[in-house]
Structure 1
Amino acid sequence: MKNFKNFIGKVALVFCMALIVGVLGSESVFAANVGDQLNSPEAGWKRYGAEDKNFQYSFPPVWYGNKAFSDGTNKLLSVSFNFKGTKLRIIGYSGGDRSSDLSCIIDGKEEKFNQATVSQDNSLNYSKEGLENREHSVKIKTNVPGSYTGLNLTAIDIDVSGELKPYNENIQPSTLQIILNVEPEKNKIRLNETVSANLTIDNIKDIAAEDVRIKYDNSKLQFLGATEVDGIKLVKNDAKDGELRLILASKGSSNVVEAKKSLLKLNFKGIAAGDALVDVTKGRVSDGITMEKDLTDDQCGQATITIDNEALTDVNKDGQFTLLDLAIDGRHYSEDPATLTQYNTDIVVNKAIDDDDLTKIGEYMLANPNYKF
């Protein structure tokens, strides 16, 4: 009987301890997910409403209760602020008629999020944790001009010990330098225009191979392919919708990375208006001796390509650049474009048909995947 009582006592003690651990650990077990309704901040978080004076709106908000909505103008919109802490949540109204193409930019690093989900107030639209415990600059923005489907904000949640501050994009960034980056040759293009972006490596030496993953906004950009550069072999080019996996190797010791270097040219075409993000999401490098290491998120860069609403028109207006377009401009070289209304001869707009037009048509022709020779 004594042994039985001891056994029951031990079981009760274990049960109580498990219950205590479960209660204390409930914050992590029941942590909210994006898409959940959060009518109040969870333990470890505190909330700032959209009416707080530290929020900087690029538009005059229309208020529905405590919710700030865009004013119906057909333009890109943003809300900016700073905060001190390690985590951030964006709380807003979600619904099928809201925008599905929004971005949250923290310290210059952009991530997409979506308010076009189940219809509900106080919806957790975006969540970011694991940031360095310091002051961060934040911009929430639309990527496509829109009125009703623009931007709305109810509140943000941050660390319970954190602080909301006025917007200042010039705060001290991370001391880590970007190693793998995407650098477009132009940051603004027109619809149907092609653009090349250099995949570059910098701020590191003695590197002989790279493994890179890139995400791009395939709702606004079409990936046309990659072009090798001298001294670098493209070993693998795995292209899926919106994602690239690229493995590259130096051709000999003379091509090992010792300074900033272009590894590859990525070719895109603008297919819809708005801001399109091209983001190096993961990187791994090796020196070809003993070292192989993964890069941190801060060491992987990104770029935004803006596609203008105005469409790029080829010379004979048949929808694509070919040798015929080049020949038309060649035949009418130095003539006045205004007298050739049946054509769009002034590709590089300067009211003349000149070398710049011929060169640009040649670039577009070679970038046209339908032009094969």
Structure 2
Amino acid sequence: MKKIILTFFVAIMLLVPFSSAFAAATVGQELKTPEAGWKRYESNDQKVLQSGTWTLVSNANHSNGAYLWSSSAGSSLSFKFYGSKMRLITAMATDRNTLAQVTVDGTVYSYSEYKNTVQYQTLVFELAGLSTGPHTVKISAVGLTSLDAIDIDDTGYLIDSNISAPTNLSAIGENGKIDLRWTAVTGATSYVVKRSTSSGGPYDILATNITSAVYTDSGVTNGVTYYYVVTAMDADSESINSNEASATPLPPLKPTLDVSIVDEKVKVGQEFTANIALKNVNNSTFAGRNYSLDLA
């Protein structure tokens, strides 16, 4: 009996660290690297806009060796991101405040940077469950406020406010392909085409480094509806998504001859007047082919 109990106890001890290793990080926990499903942007990224007075401090204990801080009232950090979730990473310490403030899409949230000991690269705020799309974030300096890094979806990205999204995206389905067109963006060096089989995404990257405002997707299956968005790129930034456009590639229809007799009654052998229309044809339907029509 003692051996059985001891074995059971050891098994429990082995299972506890195994299961906890897969638990998601929680607010107040040190988080030196982004977890699976997340990616990290540093506080001094050029797409994080500074307003007021902020100081960049080099310190090896912080994310990528640096962090921003301010105690100047009215100062703020703002950025836009495309995704559905966001985390703020910074140091906690005794000189930090308990009512730090962040505004996401107009809604104000409070979080704490206070801890009775210093803890670097800490997850201090998390907001998940947002609709997948563009979101606006503003961190306001309340007392001593700092920022190490920002974590967002690994499929999302920070938005460069200086480059506009493509507009007027259209999609036309043909046999085995879909043709896309959009309005070119001033200052864009290339475009990224993204595709999904569900309206609203999530979208997979289909093509990058597209330098003209047109693209043909030949990797499609007839009868399946595809949904597309396009983003514009400059030297190192990406715009938000364009409008969504969809199309369904279809096999070519067989040519048909539509005959409509004008006269209400026609006797056998009698001449008659008819309207004849050849349907489901285009300039290439009969290219290189010979057809004959027998009306007997």
| TM-score bracket, shorter-length normalisation | 0.3 to 0.5
- Which has the larger helix fraction? 1
**TM norm structure 1:** 0.35
**Bigger-Rg structure (1/2):** 2
